[in-house]
Chain A
Amino acid sequence: MAAPNQVKRSVSLYSLQEEYYYGRLDLEGCLRAVASTGATGVEVLAEAMFPDFPGPSPAFEAQWFGWLAKYGLTPTCYDAFLESKLYRNRVLTLREQVAMTERDIRLAARFGFKTLRTLCSTPLEVIEGSLACAEKEGITICLEVHAPFALDSEWSDLYLEMIRKTGTKHFGFMPDFGMFYRNMPPIARAQALRKGAHPDLLRRVDEAFAERVEKGFVHIRYSLDLAAANSAYRRENGMFDLKEKLVPLGANDADLGYLFMSYNFTWNDPSVVTRNIAHIHHTHAKFHEVDEQYVDATTPLPQVLAAYVAGSYDGYISSEYEGNSSLNDALPVDSVEQVRRQQEAMRRILEA
């Protein structure tokens, strides 16, 4: 791998949700923990951890910048949630959705962020309508490419066309490493077994996953009807056919939960990153587990990071630990240690 490179490392505070939920870490504690892992950047979910969202006080703002200085952290990405179904009887209008996005863009800028994560469900028109505000505030809106969404797909092409049409420099993509899961996370399999799943049926699910990795996934398509699009993706990739085979074999809720979960992740050849690097401005390094030898048994970190280096990526890659939910039914969770291990794994690869 060519060195040196300009890839920078960050941590999303999504990673520390278990500790925050139980009050073991408050926001300052989370920032202290992030700094202890070796990362220099921090990504936040203001809706999870900023007091009085969406109207945090000037006093909190001062405290926030004080903490960043104290722990030597740079704000990287602000994770926005477009609550378009805020009301029970209707979806927010385009004007209302743009206003909500602009609210978040202004909050992101106010708290020092350079990028704003928008979810893969965000309509094209909402992003396009928010570009002027993003430009004014110096924010780049990043569409999260979260499995089963994919780059080099009909879905992503629509957003690329919008970039071409508007000429904007304030919109791009942020891949999530859930699109680089080569197999199911071992801790997810262990959890299914704890809940009473059958080893032979889980093996069938794993084999089907391996087959999709081998043959390629049918990509999810753009739609404002998320349930319909997601169901079509699952159907076209064989989930319902497999379910029909497993049920007569005695599949229980744990088996079927594992089957459903296995369609939450995909595998894409990491070269897709290099090809799209001009439009990638941030990244979620989603992961379930990194072991004591600094190996992720699910995502081949050396291969994935090499694709960023090959594209001369100079943005942040942000740890997003999600393994807590595969452990916390029965086992202790140490999110900080997991993030530290992933950060160290990435450091070793990037500095090799």
Chain B
Amino acid sequence: MFQQVFDPDGFSLVERDGKPAGFQFGMKLQYYRGAPLSIILDLEVWLDGVKMPREALRAVNRGDVFTLVEMETAVDNRWEFGRWGTVQVLSGAAPAPGPHRLGCTQTIRPSYMPWPIVVHAETDFTLPG
């Protein structure tokens, strides 16, 4: 829908208790109004062509962190139009330093649309060594 989906400055490693836990990136919702997280049916993430497990994903918005299952009931947390949200991929390991290819599919279900919006976007990013 829009050309720039990912935050060019939003890629970073995530640590838990001083240990590598995964990585995160910033992106904007590909829709023209803010949306309660509960109408985002799915987020799918690929790193270097490998699909990340759904259970590893977290949506971080307005200071709250949700698994995708928890997101189903997040009716009051709105991902505002044009604002960066963060997706964490808690895969348990840090991707290697260097260039990577990231893919993400957003599936959004606005109530009035006959079918959900499905948008796939990809980008290259580099993790520092």
Chain A residues in the interface with B (C-beta under 8 A): 14, 17-18, 20-23, 45, 47-49, 53, 81-88, 119-121, 226-227, 229-231, 325, 328-329
Contacts and interface: CB of A to CB of B under 8 A. Distances in A.
Contacts of A227: 114-115
Interface stretch (B8-16, B29-37, B43-51, B52-60): B29-37
Contacts of A21: 2, 28, 81-82
Interface string B103-129: 000000111111100000000000000
Contact of A226 (B38, B75, B113): B113
Contacts of A121: 111-112
Contact of B81 (A49, A120, A329): A49
Contacts of B4: 22
B65 interface: no
Contact of B2 (A84, A229, A328): A328
Interface residues of B, number: 25
B94 to A, nearest CB: 31
29 contacts: A21-B81, A22-B4, A22-B82, A23-B82, A45-B32, A47-B33, A49-B81, A53-B78, A81-B112, A82-B111, A83-B39, A83-B110, A85-B39, A85-B111, A86-B36, A86-B39, A86-B75, A86-B111, A87-B73, A87-B75, A88-B72, A88-B73, A121-B111, A227-B115, A230-B114, A231-B114, A325-B1, A328-B1, A328-B2
Q: Which label, helix, strand, loop or mixed, suits the secondary structure of the A interface?
A: loop
A80 to B, nearest CB: 10
A219 B72 CA distance: 35
Q: Which label, helix, strand, loop or mixed, suits the secondary structure of the B interface?
A: loop
B3 A328 contact: yes
Contact of A47 (B3, B34, B115): B34
Contact of A18 (B2, B36, B75): B2
Given A86-B39, A230-B115, 10 more contacts: A21-B81, A22-B82, A45-B32, A47-B81, A48-B81, A81-B33, A83-B36, A86-B36, A226-B112, A231-B114
A20 B82 contact: yes
B31 to A, nearest CB: 9
Contact of B112 (A45, A86, A119): A119
B114 A88 contact: no
A22 B113 CA distance: 25
Contacts of B34: 47-48, 53
A200 to B, nearest CB: 28
